[in-house]
């Protein structure tokens, strides 16, 4: 479903002011309905939550709020060298978005780094989290940056260390960011091979869908290169360990693809194992992306979760 197919659904946009920044945010659906906050992953914009997925959540009785992280889309960009920030700061941004829409408690759905942000909030601000869905993510406190460094150095993984990203993904990431000032066609040519690896080898690859999404990303961004700051923020850690997830009281769903090249399924299994009562659902054939062919399956899983908490 294309983005313009949401035009018949009640929605409101605003710029949320917090920590000296502006964050683009959008509310879709009836404000009287329970709120689900969608938290995207590293370097991703809020509009990368598919319109079809959003529409299904709204039709299921939810008010959806999605937003652009700092350094992405229409939100403010940051001089990271002069003003570094952490994942905890990005979690504070999520709370600021909820505050701006007058939401005391929300269902949190976080993808990839967004899953870490959602987990962190479930630990540090449990009164704000009605339910938690960790999607295509990993356990809070996992040091993926160190694991990748060991892979690049040809070192063996540490004992009991969760598996690092697949080698083919690391290779694709190395060439996925064109030089600043590159035109849109050069940008798309650099990005498409990355999406092919992230998508995984099982499900048919919807090339045109990813190209259309990346065109929107390119057109909306204040500064495409600023999103790389999320890598630095992620490498700084969260100040929390995986063991802290044992304190999570929100009903938790862990959704993950069997073909995820970024965080192999062992990451989902580890997350579900430490959060009390968490339910793990593995999606056969899904990689580290959210193609529209999975909109219905993912929305149905989340709606079932939030309506039975």
CB 274 within 8 A of CB 299: no
Catalytic residue set:
112, 260, 288
φ, ψ (nearest 5 deg) of residue 203: -75, 145
Taking the C-alpha atoms of residue 136 and residue 263, their distance in angstroms, rounded to an integer, is: 7
H or E element at residue 178: none
**Alpha helices by DSSP H, the chain:** 51-59, 87-100, 113-124, 144-152, 167-174, 184-199, 207-220, 229-235, 266-274, 295-306
- Contact yes or no for 71/22 (Cβ under 8 A): no
- Which two three-digit tokens encode residue 245? 């997830």
């Amino acid at each position: 479903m294309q983005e313009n197919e949401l035009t018949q659904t009640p929605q409101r946009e605003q710029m949320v002011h917090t920590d000296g920044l502006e964050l683009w945010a959008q509310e879709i659906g009836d404000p009287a309905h329970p709120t689900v906050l969608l938290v995207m992953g590293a370097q991703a914009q809020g509009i990368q939550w598919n319109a079809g997925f959003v529409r299904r959540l709204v039709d299921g009785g939810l008010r959806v709020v999605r937003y652009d992280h700092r350094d992405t889309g229409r939100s403010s960009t940051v001089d990271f060298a002069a003003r570094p920030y952490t994942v905890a700061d990005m979690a504070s941004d999520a709370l600021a978005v909820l505050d701006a829409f007058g939401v005391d408690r929300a269902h949190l759905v976080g993808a990839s780094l967004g899953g870490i942000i959602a987990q962190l909030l479930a630990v540090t601000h449990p009164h704000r989290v009605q339910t938690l869905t960790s999607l295509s993510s990993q356990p809070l406190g996992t040091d993926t940056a160190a694991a990748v460094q060991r892979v690049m150095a040809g070192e063996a993984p540490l004992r009991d260390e969760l598996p690092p990203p697949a080698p083919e993904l690391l290779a694709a990431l190395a060439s996925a960011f064109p030089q600043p000032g590159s035109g849109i066609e050069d940008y798309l040519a650099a990005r498409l091979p990355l999406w092919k690896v992230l998508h995984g080898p099982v499900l048919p690859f919807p090339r045109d869908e990813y190209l259309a999404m990346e065109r929107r990303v390119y057109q909306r961004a204040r500064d495409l290169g600023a999103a790389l700051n999320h890598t630095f923020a992620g490498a700084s850690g969260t100040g929390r360990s995986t063991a802290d997830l044992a304190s999570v009281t929100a009903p938790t769903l862990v959704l993950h693809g069997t073909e995820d090249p970024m965080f192999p399924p062992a990451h989902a299994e580890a997350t579900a194992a430490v959060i009390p009562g968490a339910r793990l659902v593995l999606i056969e054939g899904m990689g580290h992306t959210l193609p529209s062919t999975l909109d219905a399956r993912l929305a149905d899983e989340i709606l079932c979760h939030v309506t039975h908490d």
